[in-house]
Structure 1
Amino acid sequence: MSDKQQVLYDVPGPKAVRRDRLYNVIFTVAIIGLVAWIVQAAWARGVLDDRWQVLFQGAKGFDGWDVWKRLLWDGLVMGTLKAVVIAVPIVAVLALVLTIARQAPMRIVRWTAYGFTHVFRGIPVLLLMYFGVIALDWALLPSVVFGLVVYNTAVVAEILRAGIAALPKGQKEAGLSIGLSPLATMLRIQLPQAIRIMLPALISQIVVLLKDTSLGFIIGYVELLAVTKNLYNFFGSSSIAPLVLASAVIYISVNMLVARLATWLEGRMRRSPHIAQPADGGDVAAPDLAARAAFGAGGGGGGAR
C-alpha cells in the first residue's frame, strides 16, 4: 500500500483483521436471519400463495405480459419517464440561469434570484402541481412538469451555488486577471468544477425528481403508481402485495441505473481534458486552471495575450 493510501488511516494489523472478519460474519448471519424471519412471517400470513401468479399468468382475461406492459409502458415510460425527460432539461437550463443571476453585479437581479430560490424551495411540489391544474387551468402533464421544474430548479440552483462557494477564491480572481469576463470565468472555470464537486448531490436530486412524479397520481396524472393502483383495483385486494412490490422493484431499478449513469459521467468528467485534474490529488492551482480556460477560449492556438 502506498503512502498516499495510508494518509487517512493506518494499515490494520492481524488483530484488527480478525475483528473485522468476525464482525462481517456476525452482520451477515444477522441479515440472513432477518430475511429468513421476514419470509417465514410472510409465509405464515399466506402472503406467499398463488396471488403472485398475477405477475406471470395474469387473471381476468389478462396474461402476465399485459400486466408488465401496463406497468412498464403505460406507467413507467408514458407516465413517469415522460415527465422526467421533459422536466430535467428545463431544470438544468433554468438552474444555470438562476445560478448566474445569483452572482450578477446588479443587486436587483441577485435579490430576485435569491428570493426565487428560497421561496420555491419551501413550497411542496404537490401544491405547485395543484396550482397548475386549478389556477392556470393546465392539463395534467404540464401541471406535473410545472411542479417538478419550479421546485427542482430552486434546489439545483442552490446546489450549484454551494459548489461555486466551495471553490477557492483564487479561481475567479485568476480568470479575471487574464482578461476573462465574470460570466466567462463562471462558465469556463467555476461551473465545471462546481458541477464535478456537487455531482452526487445533483444525481440525488434527479432521483428525488423521478420519485416526485408519483405525486401526480393525486391530481389524476397517470404514472407508475396510478397504473399500479388501477391494476390492483381491477384484480382485487389479493394482488396488492405483488403489484406494489413489482412497482417498488421498477423504481429501485431505474434509480440504480441513474446512479450507474452518474458514476460513468463522473469518470468521463475526471478524464476530460477540458477540466483540469490535479496530479497529486490536491486542488488545481487557480492560475493554471485559468490559463487552460483562456487557452481553450482562444481556439487552441491563440490564448489570452
Structure 2
Amino acid sequence: MNFAQALTLPNLRFIFDGLLVTVEVAVISIILSFIIGGILGVVRFLRIPFLSKIVGLVIDIIRNLPLLLIIFFTYFALPQIGIQFSIFWSAVIALTIFESAMISEIIRGGIEAVPKGQMEAGRSTGLNIIQTMYYIVLPQGIKLMVPPLVSQFVSLIRDTSLAVVISLPELTHNSKIIYAQYPSTVLVMFIIMTVCYFAICYSLSSFAKRFELNYQK
C-alpha cells in the first residue's frame, strides 16, 4: 500500500476532478428525475384514461431493466438512429430515465397513502384537481415520500459509478486509471473512493433527516 505515490498532487487533482463529475452528474440527474418522476407519479395516480396506462406500462418496463443496459442504449444505440450525446449527457439521460421510473412509483405510493377523503374535501371547497393535489394532498404525502426518496437518491449517487463502462471521467473511472498505472496504490484508491462516496451519501441523508424533522414541526 503506497500512500506517497497515490497521494501526489497530480493524482489528488485527478481524483478531485472525477469527484466533481460524479457530483455534477448526480445533482443534475436527481433534479431531472425528481421533476419527471413527480409528473409521471401524479399522472398514474390520477388514472387518466389511456394516458395513465401507457405511462404505467413504460414505467414497469424501465423498472425491470438493468441500469447498465439503459446506459449502453443511450450511448451506443441511440447514435444508430441519429441521436447522439456526449459521454456526460449520455450518463445523465440514462440515470434520469431509470430513476424517474423508480421515483414515480414512490410519489404515486405516497399520494395514495393519503386518505381519499382529503381529495374529496378539497374538491368540495371548489378547488380543481391540480389545486387539491398541490395544496392538500402533496403536503401530506411528502412526509411519507422523504425516506424512500432519499434512499433512491443515494442509490443514484452510487449508480453513477456504472458510467465507467462508457468512460465517463467520474470518481471510479479516474481512480481506476491511477491504480492501473501504479498497482501498489490499489488499496489506497479504494479507501479514497469509499470515503468520497460515503461523505456524499451521508451528507445527503443527514440533510434529508433535518428537512424531514423541520417539515414535521
Q: What's the TM-score once normalised by structure 2's chain length? A: 0.92
Query: Which is richer in helix?
Result: 2
Asked if the contact 1:128/1:146 (under 8 Å) is kept, the reply is: no
| Structure 2 counterpart of 1:240 | 186
Of structures 1 and 2, the one with the larger relative CO (CA 8 A, separation 6+) is: 2
Which consecutive residues of structure 2, in runs of 5 or more, have no partner in the other structure?
80-84
Instruction: Determine the C-alpha separation between the residues in 2 that align with 1:117 and 1:83.
Output: 22
Cα distance in 2, alignment partners of residues 160 and 106 from structure 1: 16
Aligned residue pair count: 212
Aligned-residue offset at 1:104: 3.2
The one of 51, 59, 67 equivalent to 1:109 is 51
Pairwise CA distance, 1:105: 5.2
Whole-angstrom CA distance in 1 between matches of 2:48 and 2:198: 44
- Give distance in 2, aligned partners of 1:130 and 1:105: 32
More divergent stretch after superposition (183-192 vs 207-216): 183-192
Structure 1 segments of 4+ aligned residues over 3 angstroms from their partners: none
Quote the Cα distance in structure 1 between the aligned partners of 2:151 and 2:107.
Answer: 13
Contact 2:118–2:137 under 8 Å retained in 1: yes
Q: CA deviation at 1:222?
A: 1.0
Match of 1:254 among 185, 197, 200: 200
Q: CA shift at 1:151, angstroms?
A: 0.7
Quick one: which of 99, 110, 121 aligns to 2:63? 121
Residue 68 in 1 paired to residue 12 in 2? yes
Q: Which of 105, 108, 130 lines up with 1:158 in the alignment?
A: 105
**Do the aligned residues in 2 keep the contact of 1:207 with 1:258 (CA within 8 Å)?**
yes
Q: Does 2:96 correspond to 1:149? A: yes
The residue aligned with 1:224 is 171
- For the 8 Å contact 1:132–1:143, the answer to whether it is kept is yes
- Which residue of structure 1 lines up, in the alignment, with residue 39 of structure 2? 97
Aligned pair partner of 1:87 in 10, 23, 29? 29
Distance 1:192 1:66 in 2: 48
How far does residue 52 in structure 1 lie from its aligned partner after superposition? 2.5
Q: Alpha-carbon deviations, 1:70-93, whole Å to 9, x = none? A: 212x1111x211111221111111
Deviation, structure 1 residue 268: 2.8
Spell out, residue by residue over 1:51-78, the C-alpha distance to the aligned partner (whole angstroms, 9 max, x if none): 23334xx4xxxx2x33222212x1111x
Deviation at 1:112, TM superposition (A): 1.6
For residue 160 of structure 2, the aligned residue among 208, 213, 217 is 213
CA distance in 2, matches of 1:178, 1:141: 48
What TM-score, normalized by structure 1, do the two folds share? 0.66
Give the conservation status (yes or no) of the 8 Å contact 2:146–2:212.
yes
The code of the aligned residue for 1:256 comes to Y
The C-alpha deviation readout for 1:171-199, integer Å capped at 9, x for no partner, is: 11111111111221112211122122120
CA displacement, residues 84-123 of structure 1 (integer Å, 9 cap, x when unaligned)? 1221111111111101211335311110221122111111
2:82 corresponds in structure 1 to none
